[in-house]
Structures are given as C-alpha cells and as structure tokens.
Amino acid sequence: MNLDTPKKFAMLIEQAKQVADNFYRPISRKYDRAEHAYPKELDMLASLLDGMNEGSDEAAGATSASKRPSTDGNTGIRNGGNLSVALGTMELCRGDTGLLLSIPRQGLGNAAIAAVANDEQLARFKGKWAAMAITEPSCGSDSAAIRTTAIKDGDDYILNGEKIYVTAGARAECVVVWATLDKSLGKAAIKSFVVEHGTPGMEVTRLEHKLGIKASDTAAINFTDCRVPAANLLGTPEIDLKKGFAGVMETFDNTRPLVAAMAVGVAAASIERMKELLADHIDPNYGTPPLNSSHAEATLYRLEAEWEAARLLTLKAAWMADNKQPNSKDASICKAKAGRVANEVTLKCVELAASLGYGEDELLEKWSRDSKILDIFEGTQQIQQLIIARRVLGKSSAQLK
C-alpha cells in the first residue's frame, strides 16, 4: 500500500482545506444554533463544485463515487473519483460535517445514483440534489427488513410506507427510496427508486431535532399511493434470488467510505486544535517516548495513531472502488474504525481541554456532538462488525446473525 497521497490531488485537497478553514468554520456556530435554517452561503459553493466536477475524474463531489469504468482509456491502476471525493471530504469535514451534508447536489442519494443508475438515468438525474431514504420506524440497522412496498401498475410503481432520518430529505430535489417489490421474497426483492419532491403521495411530515449536524435537515417522509415512473427504478427490475440483496447493497460500498472520510475529517480537526492548545506542553517532533510524556501528550499520541489507521483504511476502501476491486468488507472496516475513532478522539479532546473544551467559545464541543452520527448512519458500529465477521468467516446473513 502506497502511503503517500497522490500528487495530482494536491490542489483539490488545498482547495477543500481553504473552504473548511475560511468558509465553513466562520459560519459553523451560526447554523449549529439556527437548526433547520438553510445555509444560503452554500449555494455559491455548490456552483463552484459543479464547475470543478464537470467532466473530471478528479472531482470532489458525491457523484464521483462510482465503480463505473473510466472514460479516459486508462486500464491500469488508477487513483480516481472515489479516492478524490474521500480526500476532499476529509478536508471539508475539518470545517463542518453538517454543512458538508447540506451542499446542494452532493447528497448521499447522489452517490447512490452514481453507484447503480444506468446511463440514461445518469443523464436524466444529472444536476439533481438527491437524498437517500432507507431507515423505517420498524427497521433501523436491518435494511433487509424494509416494509415500504412498491407495486407495479402499468408503467409505474406505487409506493406505500414511511421513511425516517432522511438526511437532506426536505431540501433535496429528489429522494432515493428503498422499497420491496415482494415481501415474500425477502431482501432479494428490495430495489431503490428515485422519487422527486412534488410527486403526489409523497409528504415530508417532520424535521428532527438532533444532537449534532444541526445545519443538515433530517426528515421523516410518508409515501401514500405515491406513483413513480418505472423508469425511476435504479438498476434492473428483475428479482434475482441468487444475487439477493447485492444489487442495492452496492450503494454502501461507495457511501460507507464517504462517511468514514467525514469521521476522519472531524477527528483531524479536534487533534489539530488540541495540538494548538497544548503547543507548550507537547513535542511536535514526537521525540519524547510515551512513557516519559505527560498524560495529555501520551493520550494525544495514541489518538493520532488511531486516527492515522482510520484514515489509511478509508483511503484503501476508496482506492479499491476506483480499481473495480470488491470492497464491501473494506468499506465496512473503514466505516467501523473511523466512526469509533471519531467518537473517541473528539470526546477525549473535549476532556483534555477541560472547561475550555466544554464551552461554546471552542468548536471542540460541537465536533464531539457532530461525530456521534458518523458511527451510526450508513450502518451502526455493531452492524459493520457483523458484516466484517460474515466476510471473514465466509458466512451468510442467515448463518451469522
């Protein structure tokens, strides 16, 4: 594994760093306090990202996260869209995770469309802001237990059900909805549909009040006899009992490294700030052995080592996707590691900073609140460990629950 960041991404990383430091952080506290208020400042940033992403394999947006063959003719080892979006996300989340999740046309639904849509759908939904709706009141971590139904009716599907905790669910222009074509066939019948806001039968019922990422709206959405064109079903409409859940689950292979990258970013912000606060008490060159260090210095060394491991695992999973290598296990490994590390790092930094870390004069307390969701959505810590165990032991979901 090459531990160096590809030089061609240097400009992208520097631009994302500048956005985090000079754009996100100055408005971070404002939108943390003004929950559900849309950050209008993001409109300009979204336009800039659209321009950067146009026709580029080194783009910074969610639509770059795909396992599709490259159009540049390069058939060798490559560093492409998945790696670039992971690196950009890490830097942007040094600024504010909630603001990142609120950028128009950069939702998790956009990554889902990029993962499984056909060429016609990619063209039709290009430029749309897409949220992703999976979780239901009756099923959280068990995506296979989805009860929202999609019944074929002529050239349409009729959706009925309720989705909760939909990130950007109220602001996005459309929502990628997971629904089952036939409950009796289990998880193999689950498909994803693009439902545009304004479609009759689709209703945002409430916005959630949350611990963190308050700049991002989190919605509950009801679907009541909601008629969706059959052309909006992502992937194939056929139910493949042998392939099972694998089709829609490919989405997670792309989105879990992105969430891991968010966790790496917010943890990096906390570590950097603690280094600044403890500048007079730590050795910046790591010359003092941990056993001879102060408790604070030794703790910071340990946290940084854990953070570096999470960062490298995340980049590996993204690189594997760029090179069309199966990365389901690695996507879960990096998500589990980074989510747990972000929680530990941000909370420990609050502790090390004492009363300063607990107050609103510092962003440390905000980063600790924001980090918690990164160990929950896109699959909880426990679910990731279960998936990893199945992959390592060669067990099916029925054999290892």
In angstroms, rounded to a whole number, what is the distance separating the alpha carbons of residues 189 and 202? 22
What is the tally of helices (H) and strands (E) in the chain?
A: 13, 8
Pick the closest to residue 148 from 186, 110, 180, 116 (CA basis).
Answer: 180
In angstroms, rounded to a whole number, what is the distance separating the alpha carbons of residues 315 and 245? 25
User: Token digits for 172?
Assistant: 């996005």
Q: At CB < 8 A and 24+ separation, what contacts does 306-310 make?
A: 306/341, 306/344, 306/345, 307/264, 307/267, 307/268, 307/271, 307/341, 307/345, 309/337, 309/341, 310/260, 310/263, 310/264, 310/267, 310/334, 310/337, 310/338, 310/341, 310/342
Could you confirm whether 35 is annotated as catalytic? no
- Catalytic residue selected from 58, 136, 297, 378: 378
Pick the closest to residue 88 from 131, 133, 167, 24 (CA basis).
Answer: 24
Contact (CB, 8 A) for 78 and 3: no
Helix axes 328-353 and 246-277, enclosed angle (nearest 10): 30
Reported as type and span, the H/E element at residue 131 is: strand 130-133
Q: Where are the alpha helices (DSSP H) in 278-327?
A: 295-322
Pick the closest to residue 142 from 329, 386, 374 (CA basis).
Answer: 386
Residue 193 is given by DSSP the state E
In angstroms, rounded to a whole number, what is the distance separating the alpha carbons of residues 17 and 208? 30
Q: Which residues are catalytic?
A: 378
